[in-house]
Amino acid sequence: MNSLLMVLLWIVSILIIGSVLLQPSKNNDAMSSLSGGADDLFSDSKPRGFEAFMQKVTAILGIVLFGIALILMWLSAH
């Protein structure tokens, strides 16, 4: 059981890295890097299409990764 969960943990962690790398960049100019992107803080634009999909995939993979890690921790304690 531990081996299967460890393999799943590795697979999910690689998928999370890939999903983060596939997300489009939000900084379009050099000024936003200097200001820290504060002008985007109150913008009303919602992500659409591929960007929204990748955000959902990343969130779901993060929850799965956290859940598997908690299960592995519980199994190692008992």
Closest C-alpha to 15, from 48, 51, 76, 60? 60
- The answer to whether the CB of 24 falls within 8 A of the CB of 58 is no
Quick check: 77 and 21 in contact, CB under 8 A?
no
Quick one: pLDDT at residue 32?
A: 58
pLDDT one-digit tens code per residue, 3-12: 999 999 999 9
Determine if residue 40 is left, alpha or beta; phi over 0 gives left, psi from -120 to 50 gives alpha, anything else beta.
alpha
Residues 33, 27: contact at Cβ < 8 Å? yes
pLDDT in tens, 27-75: 655 565 566 655 555 566 677 788 889 999 999 999 999 999 999 999 9
Domain boundaries defined on the chain: 1-22+47-78
